[in-house]
Amino acid sequence: MAPAAGNGEQEILYGLHAVREALRAGARPLQRLLVVRTDKQFTDLVKLARAQHVPVLLQPAVSLDRLVPGGKHQGIVAFAAAAAYQTEEAILARAAKRREPPLLVILDGVEDPHNVGAVLRTAEAAGVHGVFIPERRAAGLTSVVAKVSAGAIDHIAVARVTNTSRLLESLKEAGVWIYGLDPTATKWYTDIDMRGPVGFVFGGEGKGLRPGVLQHCDDRIGIPMKGHVRSLNVSASAAVALFEAVRQRDLPPAKP
């Protein structure tokens, strides 16, 4: 997927998997679909697009090459409306509708869109109810994020917040326990109970969590490091913590 040139209101999705997921999810309405042909591997996508009244246009490969410089479009490009952001209230309501304690991810200054996309992919796979990202000094829902997320962006709720510290206080008032992932923490991630309402805060590349954000966390937790490297990439940290939450939440209830 790549940004639509000269149009901030559109995104260009490319590649068979990204376009298929967008059509199936229906979260971002497609405005038109460009394909090099309508047979073989494109048949199901063309049928799905036409069933949703999305115009399908035949274009030579060179035209798609111009739209996706250096991108591997696989012979298919779609124009999509920009992904919509959710609200804190909608995300908490989503958890309530599922009758599950909220499982949330808060990103603090993660600026690399590849990292944000990878976190979204992990979060969606772990059943996270919503991901929060700051408006400033952070990657938003760009086309690169969507591509790296491998379709997860169409299935997970993402909210954009103006002030992360205020968000954390609001979530705590709603009964969510907030844990900051911090390499200097003396408590391991396996030491906490993740079966209730929890939110994990992950810091940006290099600097980690800002002190002002850390002080609004209920506690800080770490991942034990056995090698010379003292911290993990943010998407790896998210995978470790979130799938521990999955493991704990799948445990049978304790017997009285």
Domain that holds residue 135: 88-249
Give per-residue pLDDT as tens, 185-199: 999 999 999 999 999
CB contact set of 77 (below 8 Å; sequence gap of 6+):
12, 13, 14, 19, 33, 34, 35, 59, 64, 67, 68
Give per-residue pLDDT as tens, 103-150: 999 999 899 999 999 999 999 999 999 999 998 878 888 778 888 998
CATH number assigned to the domain comprising residue 232: 3.40.1280.10
Tell me how far apart the alpha carbons of residues 28 and 19 are, in angstroms, rounded to a whole number: 11
Share of the chain above pLDDT 90, in %: 62
| Number of domains within the chain | 2
* Residue 213 pLDDT level (bands cut at 50, 70, 90): very high
Q: What is the pTM of this model?
A: 0.74
CB contact set of 159 (below 8 Å; sequence gap of 6+):
85, 86, 87, 88, 90, 91, 130, 131, 132, 133
User: What's the pLDDT at 8?
Assistant: 38
CATH number assigned to the domain comprising residue 25: 3.30.1330.30
Mean pLDDT score across all residues of the chain: 89
| Among 59, 81, 103, residue at a domain's last position | 81
Is the pLDDT confidence value at 3 over 50? no
**Mean pLDDT, residues 10-16:** 83
Q: Is residue 226 part of a domain?
A: yes
Residues 58 and 105 in one domain: no
